[in-house]
Each structure stands twice: as structure tokens, then as C-alpha cells.
Amino acid sequence: MNKSLLNRRQFTTRCAAFGLAIPALTAMPRVPAGAQLPATGAASPRAARSVKLPDGTSVAALGQGSSHLGRGRHPQSDEEEALRTGIALGMTLIDTSGDYGNGRSEGLIGQAIAAERDRVFLVSKVEASEASADGMERACEASLARLRTDHLDLYLLHWPVPNTQFSAVVAGFEKLRAAGKIRAWGVSNFDTGQMEDLFRVPDGRRCATNQVPYSLNNRHIERDLLPWCKQHNLPVMAYSPLGGDRNLVVGDRTPAQIGAAHGCSAAAVALAWVIRSGNVIAIPESGSPAHVRENAVALSLALTPGDLHTLDAAYPGA
Ligand SMILES: NC(=O)c1ccc[n+]([C@@H]2O[C@H](COP(=O)([O-])OP(=O)(O)OC[C@H]3O[C@@H](n4cnc5c(N)ncnc54)[C@H](OP(=O)(O)O)[C@@H]3O)[C@@H](O)[C@H]2O)c1
């Protein structure tokens, strides 16, 4: 077998067949045009595969979600392996919430990453119902204990509270930040009007991201929120980037055809599309190591202008 002739899909399939995680993208053999490993250098595609937060921290453009993990959907060992596979392949941002499975998602992540916490950019969330000063502190401490860590890299408000409470929530986040419990904070499910109001309260501009749904088949944020965030230098974190459980795009013909041309899956195409701008972080969830290996390809997949045009035609958006 001449390894230099394997394309990415063949290589991934053989790794999966032998139960191997692909060790590092740079260790890949030759890959087809368009799915090539990024070159190095400031103007290279690799630069577009990480996203800079407003405080200058660089995070992987592709992370891992976890809302169904720890709930018996896959064997626990598979879910832990899936997370570690993702980390090994560069999907080092992990998104969770104290609310997912009543803390079971955080518990599973805490166990899976215990030996490599420092490699992970850990994101968790506080619920709107917990958004009092005491409540935020209590929720954060509980998340830290389940995640077996002493700090979160990013703490998000899961759903908006009334605008009149924005100041108090920001103050609560800033208190946690000053205490070293969190490194940064952000919001989730905020619309453009709520972002504008948030930026008007003291320290509101310290917000690091807004986590919202965004995928080929859900392009609503392109109308105003995405341009607003770009204008304010605020990265967007895209949840349900494969369309979410009930509306997955992984079986759709167009991304599958584009994937076939690049030697990768429809899922990789869909994720590469979500992170194409350099201002969006995608957090696909999978409890399957094989799926995670497919998804990680998006980190180095450069879609051509022709691919983007074809995807626009198939998913017209807003
Ligand atoms: N802030 C919020 O309000 C909010 C709301 C929703 C979600 N989220 C976050 O966003 C994360 C992702 O969102 P999501 O779970 O709704 O949607 P998603 O990531 O678009 O889709 C997840 C589904 O895709 C499947 N999948 C993943 N990779 C695949 C592949 N390569 N081939 C085929 N199927 C694949 C998964 O099944 P397998 O496990 O079998 O691979 C799972 O059923 C959540 O886990 C959570 O962390 C946040």
C-alpha cells in the first residue's frame, strides 16, 4: 500500500477501521486539492481557522458542543473518547452548561479532560433564572466542581434576561472575573437590539461573544446580527452548526457532492462553511469519535468560490 496515494477520506476510514485517532493534521499524507492542509504564514488559510476574541485570545474556530452528552445516547466511553479525539485534532474549545442533563454533561467533560485541562478552552453557561449576584456565584462554583477545574475560560448567560437586568448581570460576571473564576464572559441567544442595550451598560463592551444558532439551513443572523457583531469586532459562536438534531444537513445532497470532490464528508463541508469568515466559531456536537474525525476536517478545508456559490444556491438564506 502506497500511503502517499491515500486521500483524506481513505486515510480517515482506515484510521477508524483500526481504531486510531488521526494524530495531528500535519501528520496527514497527501490530500486532494481544495482539502489541502493549510500552509503556514499570516495570510494562510490556517489563520482563518482560529478566531480572536476581543481580549486578544485566539481560540479554535471549531469546537465541540455537549448538550446531549452524559445522557446515555452513546456509551459513556465513546463520548469521552469523542471529546478527546476532537481535542487531539484541534477542536480544543468545549461548550457546555450546568443545565445540560442537570450537570451530567459537565461531569462527563470534567472526567474526559482531567489530564489535559490546560489544552482546552472551556465554556459553560449560567441560566437566566440564576442571574442574581449570589446565584451566578453559586452556579459558577457548581460548574467548576463538576468540570474539576478552578476556572472557566468563558462563561455565558444562556438566555437573555430583561434589559433592565443587564447591568446587574455584567457586574456579576465582572465580579467572577476579578475573583479569577472566569477569564471572560459573553451571552447567548441575544438579538441585535439586546446587544446594543448590553453595550450601553457599564463594562457591557467586555462581552466576548454571542452564541446563537447558525448553519447552512438557518442563516437568520446574516440579516443583521452577524454584520452587527463584525462591525463591533465581536465573534459569533454558532450553535447547531450542522442544523441541530431535527434538521441535520449531513444527509443533504449538495454538501455531500462538494464533500465528495474534496474527499471529505458533507458534515465537514457544512462546518467549513459556518467558519468561513474567520469571525465565527462553530461548536458541533458528537458523541461518536468517527463523526468527530469527520468534523475536524473542516479546520483545514478550504471551500472554493465555486463551492460557496453552489451552497448559496442550495441554501439561499435571509
Ligand atoms: N446556547 C444555546 O441556547 C444552545 C442551544 C443548542 C445547542 N447549543 C450548543 O451547541 C451544540 C451543538 O448544537 P446541536 O447539538 O443542537 O446541533 P449540531 O451540532 O448541529 O448537531 C448535533 C447532531 O449531529 C450529529 N452529528 C455530529 N457530527 C456528525 C457527522 N459527522 N455525521 C453525522 N451526524 C453528525 C450528532 O449525532 P452523533 O452524536 O451521533 O454524532 C447530533 O445528533 C450543543 O451541543 C450545545 O453545546 C447551545
The CA-CA-CA angle for residues 232, 59, 222, to 5°, reads 40
* Whether the CB of 267 sits within 6 Å of ligand 1: yes
Q: Domains of the chain (ranges plus CATH)?
A: 57-239+281-287 (3.20.20.100)
Q: What's the gap in Å between 68 CA and the centre of ligand 1?
A: 8
Q: What's the gap in Å between 245 CA and the centre of ligand 1?
A: 6
> For this structure, is 155 an active site residue?
no
Return the best residue to mutate from 13, 67, 83, 269 for the ligand 1 pocket (most ligand atoms within 8 A of CB).
67
Q: What is the pLDDT of residue 317?
A: 82
The residue with cell 504564514 is 41
Q: What is the pLDDT of residue 286?
A: 98
Specify whether the CB–CB gap between 216 and 255 falls below 8 A.
Answer: yes
The structure's pTM equals: 0.88
* Whether the CB of 67 sits within 6 Å of ligand 1: yes
Return the best residue to mutate from 286, 293, 297 for the ligand 1 pocket (most ligand atoms within 8 A of CB).
286
Q: What is the pLDDT of residue 40?
A: 29
pLDDT by 10-residue block (mean), the chain, 318 residues? 40 38 31 31 47 97 98 97 98 98 98 97 97 94 98 98 97 98 98 98 98 98 98 98 97 98 98 97 98 97 98 92
Q: Exposed, middle or buried by CB within 10 Å (0-12, 13-18, 19+), for 172?
A: buried
- Which candidate, 280, 273, 266, 261, places its Cα nearest to that of 308? 273
Q: What's the gap in Å between 85 CA and the centre of ligand 1?
A: 16
* Whether the CB of 307 sits within 6 Å of ligand 1: no
Residue type at 272? Answer: A
Ligand 1 atom 47, closest CA = 65
Residue 311, helix vs strand vs coil: helix
Residue type at 218? Answer: N
